[in-house]
Amino acid sequence: MRMHLTYLVAILGTIIWNGALADVFKFVDARGHVYYTDKPRHSGYKRIIQTPLAFISTSSAMRRPVGGIGFAGASASLSRHRIEFSPMIEAAADRYSLDPRLLHAVIRAESAYNPSAVSNKGAAGLMQLMPGTADRYGVQNRFNPEDNIDGGARYLSDLLDMFQSDVRLAVAAYNSGENTVKRFGNQIPPIPETQDYVARVLSNYWRSN
């Protein structure tokens, strides 16, 4: 536990040093491994530190103009990858009549622009495609950024058509599957992970408008 506390202090130091503002969440897996993050990916994470409103208001002026919150250089990496993949994202958005800002918001929430990202459920790449979704849209290599973005953009476009351009439901379906959204009467499923995901994507999306 002493090592974990040291690691937590290091994380907090990085957040404050970079002018980043984030709550900190903790997750302990079945083997007793402890994980800390500012972006929990499932409901097993428990918030252990909440950024005070006073700290947010006094620190906002010190924040550097980069694309995201990060630990140990993640902000710079996110900003660099956003620039690197923007032409592919713009092209895919144009092909499938999507708002590129929405595509950016999904990618940021899914992988923080990391083309090598793999989730504990087996989703991979920038848009975190599951094997079945990749097969459905002809994506042979989920770690190829252009192929991954193309497949994810087509899927998101289909979801928007399916749910009559309701961005909230399309985003919820991207996270939990279209059948799950339909099963709950075309409402955002009462699944904490999905609800958090929708809120995060929409926050990123509206902030970019």
Report pLDDT digits (tens) over 61-113.
333 333 333 344 566 777 788 899 999 999 999 999 999 999 999 999 999 99
Report pLDDT digits (tens) over 126-170.
999 999 999 999 999 999 999 999 999 999 999 999 999 999 999
Question: Is the distance from CB of 57 to CB of 135 less than 8 angstroms?
Answer: no
Report pLDDT digits (tens) over 2-30.
334 434 444 444 443 343 445 666 777 66
**Local confidence band at 33 (pLDDT 50, 70, 90 cut-offs):** low
Instruction: Select the more confidently predicted residue: 46 or 59.
Output: 46
CA dihedral over 136, 140, 142, 145, signed as positive or negative: negative
* Catalytic residue IDs: 110
**Distance set, CA 106 to CA 62, 76, 188 (Å):** 27, 19, 16
Domain 74-208 coded CATH 1.10.530.10: yes
Q: What is residue 49's predicted lDDT score, i.e. its pLDDT? A: 58
Domain regions of the chain by residue span: 2-62, 74-208
CA distance 41 to 37: 9
